[in-house]
Amino acid sequence: MAGTTTDVPVLIVGGGPVGLAAAIELAWRGIDCLLVERRDGSIGHPKMNQVSVRTMEICRRWGVARTVRERSVPEDFPRNIRFVTATSGYELAHYDFPARKDEPCTNSPEAIQRCSQIYFDVILREHAQSLGHALFAYRHELESFSQDADGVTADLTDLATGAKKRMRAGYVLACDGAESGIRAALGIPMVGDQSLNTNVNAFFSCTDHDALFRNGRAVMQWLIDGQGVWGDIVSVNGHDLWRFSLMRLPPGAQPGEEEMATHLRRAIGRDAAFEIHSVLPWERRRVVAKRFSEERVLLAGDAAHQMSPTGGFGMNTGIQEAVDACWKLAAVIQGWGGPQMLASYDLERRPVARMIVDEAARNFTQFSRLPKGEGIDADTPAGAALRKAIGDAIYAERFDREYVMEGVPLGYRVEDSPIVISDGTPTPPFEVMKYRPTARPGHRAPHAWLERDRSMLDLYGLGYTLVRFDPKIATAPLQAAARDRGVPMSVIDVADDTIAELYENNLVLVRPDGFVAWRGDAVPAQASGIIDVVRGA
């Protein structure tokens, strides 16, 4: 089909937070895109409530971080985690975390936010629409597609009118969820555990804080009986909106609102006025797609992996994939990205997804190790002993790992990528609960404050950034090589000995996504070789 016209450079299928993030990233880079979503775009049932520190850094780059903070759980609401027999019952254990206003930001200019999907999706959609390069087709469905050497032919249906449309796209980004039709059409299998357990969520409103917080305010309360964890209640806005999750259900169970109300009364443990707004069954999985791309189609988000929400990794992992896929798509569409650029998407992101999926499953399966017994609610010596045994196990097993995991969003690395140049230094150990800043190639470039409210991370974005800590070093050959190949690159001098010590080398080349591509103390004789590798040539 050589010579056929392309209607849009990138077709995004799926309008959840991952698809919306892709639309923003492409539009921000000046790439036209069309987002197709079979629903109307409204969010009636929030599935996501946590925006990770890395996702907040991305929001900061897009210019929406302040809006996310304003729509999050109030800044004075403590981020405590409680393990209880009921919200008005006995507390078995707890972990206290500071409210957002009291949380120090050490390794990032941003902090984790509790911003529900009912607010977060709106923020992303409105920002994407404001950028001018993203078009939206809600109530449209991708019926079929085919690839050739020059692009993708897609057949769409307008679900409101039944009208059919055939269009051409340069590339397709599949953000169409766990039951991805695109992934199925490509024949890409999911590898892992298809069901860890069956769950049902209820989105409800309640203003009886005495019943909900007998043991003190918390953003999350795990519900435990004599057989283990059976549910949880999560704050949506810290005031009147909450989400109740029911576990330990038989496969295929789909209790309705009346049955969920019965379970919710048990979770609260006393009479309280509440209203259930929606009920959503879902399956807890531990799966990763066997490959994240095929020719001109890339998978992201739940289309590429599904994980337990224990850790709040799912949406955040998907958004980071969308950013990674889209800066690379932009590089190819703009003509400076070579053949290894898109190949690096699968090579970089699939191992990260596998690690995160396994960590989320670990957080869930640890529940099975809690002591079991009868009479957990009884005001008896035996009841008290069981409650203490469960609490002791929670502390001994470090259940706080799920909430103190700075290493996962900030410490993952892509050092084996074909568009990263190793400097030969030893790989530091990866730690889930602790992030150790490093500017090694393949790692996220570290945050440091340049001045009040201006981070090193604010230097990185649309193109490559060569950070120079010694202005006497000649960088003209590297700049010329980038210019000759059309690679956007700027040189920024940083006169700060502390930051120079953190970054270790005099020259650090940072990719558009904020990861280090190369570093050294001088530009080598073959400067063009560096540029050719990092642009995927």
Q: Based on the domain organization, do 301 and 156 belong to the same domain?
A: yes
Q: Is residue 187 part of a domain?
A: yes
Beta-carbon neighbour count of residue 164 at 10 Å? 10
pLDDT digits (tens, 9 = 90+) for 166-190: 999 999 999 999 999 999 999 999 9
Is the same domain home to 332 and 469? no
Question: Looking at the structure, do residues 323 and 441 belong to the same domain, yes or no?
Answer: no
Type and span of the H or E element at 483: helix 476-484
At 483-502, the pLDDT tens digits run: 999 999 999 999 999 999 99
Residues 110 and 65 sit within 8 Å (Cβ to Cβ)? yes
Same domain, yes or no, for 422 and 508? yes
Query: Can you name the residues that pair with 284 across neighbouring β-strands?
Result: 197
Residue 219, domain member (yes or no): no
pLDDT of residue 1: 33
pLDDT for position 5: 62
> Domain check: are 350 and 456 in the same one?
no
DSSP state of 76: T
The pLDDT tens digits of the residues spanning 373-427 come to: 999 999 999 999 999 999 999 999 999 999 999 999 999 999 999 999 999 999 9
Spell out where 214-347 has E strands.
220-225, 228-235, 241-249, 275-289, 293-294, 297-299, 305-306
The enclosing domain of 350 has a CATH number of 3.50.50.60
Query: What is the distance between the alpha carbons of residues 51 and 33, in angstroms, rounded to a whole number?
Result: 25
- 509: in domain: yes
For residue range 217-247, list pLDDT tens digits in order.
Answer: 999 999 999 999 999 999 999 999 999 999 9
**Does residue 49 share a domain with residue 169?**
yes
Separation of CA 516 from chain center: 20
In order of 16, 138, 245, 331, 394, the CA distances from 403 in angstroms are 24, 36, 18, 36, 13
Q: Torsions phi, psi of 449, nearest 5?
A: -80, 125
Predicted pLDDT of residue 139: 97
Residue 171 domain flag? yes
250 Cβ partners below 8 Å, 6+ apart? 198
pLDDT of residue 2: 38
Residues 20 and 143 in one domain: yes
Q: Return the beta strands (E) in 406-458 as ranges.
A: 449-451, 454-455
Element (H, E) at 363: helix 339-365
The two tokens of residue 429 are: 């150990």
Whether residues 34 and 180 share a domain: the answer is yes
Flag whether 259 is in a domain.
Answer: no
Ramachandran bin of 192, using left for φ above 0, alpha for ψ from -120 to 50, beta for the remaining angles: left
Query: Final residue of a domain: which of 362, 381, 400?
Result: 362
Range of the domain at 499: 413-534
pTM listed for this prediction = 0.96
Average pLDDT over residues 195-211: 96
- Per residue in 304-362, pLDDT (tens digit) is 999 999 999 999 999 999 999 999 999 999 999 999 999 999 999 999 999 999 999 99
